[in-house]
A and B are shown apart, each in its own frame.
Chain A
Amino acid sequence: DAKTTQPTSMDCAEGRAANLPCNHSTISGNEYVYWYRQIHSQGPQYIIHGLKNNETNEMASLIITEDRKSSTLILPHATLRDTAVYYCIVRVDKAGNTDKLIFGTGTRLQVFP
């Protein structure tokens, strides 16, 4: 799996959009970008993933650059409950692929009132 680089920490005001960047310059053509988050001492929670098109679900949006070397997770209206460590993980995704997840240190997002 390709390595990712994320800022150590970020702050965001409640109600504003939180934009979390991730660099994955060595990503391969068949590797997806996954985002998980970990709220204090809880298990990692899946947020979203994508290959090359932008993706949106009820939790967040994922913007992947055209060259796929970086991406941004967007929480459109951050709340205090979004305070967590956010992990960007790249991995191959195909039917039956059940490889382990390799977590980095992630970005600690602090949402303040």
Chain B
Amino acid sequence: EPEVTQTPSHQVTQMGQEVILRCVPISNHLYFYWYRQILGQKVEFLVSFYNNEISEKSEIFDDQFSVERPDGSNFTLKIRSTKLEDSAMYFCASTRGTLYQPQHFGDGTRLSIL
């Protein structure tokens, strides 16, 4: 069964550094998402992306965040200048977008900011 894959599984970065989290959505999917989960808290929506542009973003997704689909397969989340509070699990999800099709999630990247 096709799945969403994310790399790396764990990323350790110094505060203030840039980080890029990578995702390969399911190949025939058209809508892409990033969510995050701070340890012990709820899964929170960050951003949705379709047709090479952001569809919706949350208040968390400020100017330090950006997303890109640089080629036909990858979907990336960039944090320009990381803060301690960016430490979290980051999940990528995708869906075909047709009726009854759920969002499928990757297993996440654990981001640790030192």
User: What does DSSP make chain A's interface, helix, strand, loop or mixed?
Assistant: loop
User: What does DSSP make chain B's interface, helix, strand, loop or mixed?
Assistant: strand
Give how many A residues have a beta carbon under 8 Å from the other chain's beta carbons: 23
Residues 56-100 of A, flagged 1 when their CB comes within 8 A of B and 0 if not, give 000000000000000000000000000000010000011111111
Contact assessment for B100 and A93 in the assembled complex, using a CB-CB cutoff below 8 Å: yes
Min Cβ gap A102→B in Å is 7
Chain B interface residues (CB < 8 Å from chain A): 4, 31, 33, 35, 42-45, 48, 50, 55-56, 58, 89, 91, 93, 95, 97-100, 102-108, 110
Contact assessment for A46 and B99 in the assembled complex, using a CB-CB cutoff below 8 Å: no
Contact assessment for B31 and A98 in the assembled complex, using a CB-CB cutoff below 8 Å: yes
B95 contacts which chain A residues (CB < 8 A)? 98
Chain A to chain B contacts (Cβ below 8 Å), 13 pairs: A41-B108, A42-B108, A45-B105, A46-B102, A93-B99, A95-B98, A96-B98, A98-B50, A98-B55, A99-B56, A100-B58, A101-B43, A101-B93
Contact assessment for B45 and A94 in the assembled complex, using a CB-CB cutoff below 8 Å: no
Contact assessment for A105 and B42 in the assembled complex, using a CB-CB cutoff below 8 Å: yes
Contact assessment for A43 and B4 in the assembled complex, using a CB-CB cutoff below 8 Å: yes
A100 to B49, CA, bound (A): 11
Contact assessment for A100 and B42 in the assembled complex, using a CB-CB cutoff below 8 Å: no
A38 contacts which chain B residues (CB < 8 A)? 43
* Residue in chain A with minimal CB distance to B92: A43
Contact assessment for B106 and A43 in the assembled complex, using a CB-CB cutoff below 8 Å: yes
Interface presence of A21 (CB below 8 A)? no
A36 to B50, CA, bound (A): 23
B58 contacts which chain A residues (CB < 8 A)? 100
A89 to B44, CA, bound (A): 13
